Amino acid sequence: MPPALWNINFSLIYTLKPKLAANMPARWAPIPAPVADALMMATDKDGNLTGQVPFSDYKSYFEGSWYPVPAR
């Protein structure tokens, strides 16, 4: 299912903003294990699972594999 969803998302983004679609990754890559672990254990101040972590804390795991969105 994910490849089909990726194709649909890419098609919609390409139709609406071709420059944005040009920066999408050309291949699938797994989420690095330390990032996945952090997402699975991320909680808010009340201890509720949120699945959210600051990108800046884990950016180094994605060096060379992510592309910034161009300025508008």
* Predicted local confidence at residue 69, as pLDDT: 52
* Predicted local confidence at residue 11, as pLDDT: 87
- Answer whether 25's CB lies under 8 Å from 65's CB: yes
User: Backbone phi, then psi, for 61, in 5-degree steps?
Assistant: -75, -15
pLDDT tens digits for 12-68? Answer: 988 998 888 887 776 677 889 999 999 999 999 999 999 999 988 998 887 765 555
14 dihedral zone (left: phi>0; alpha: psi -120 to 50; beta) = alpha
* Predicted local confidence at residue 48, as pLDDT: 95
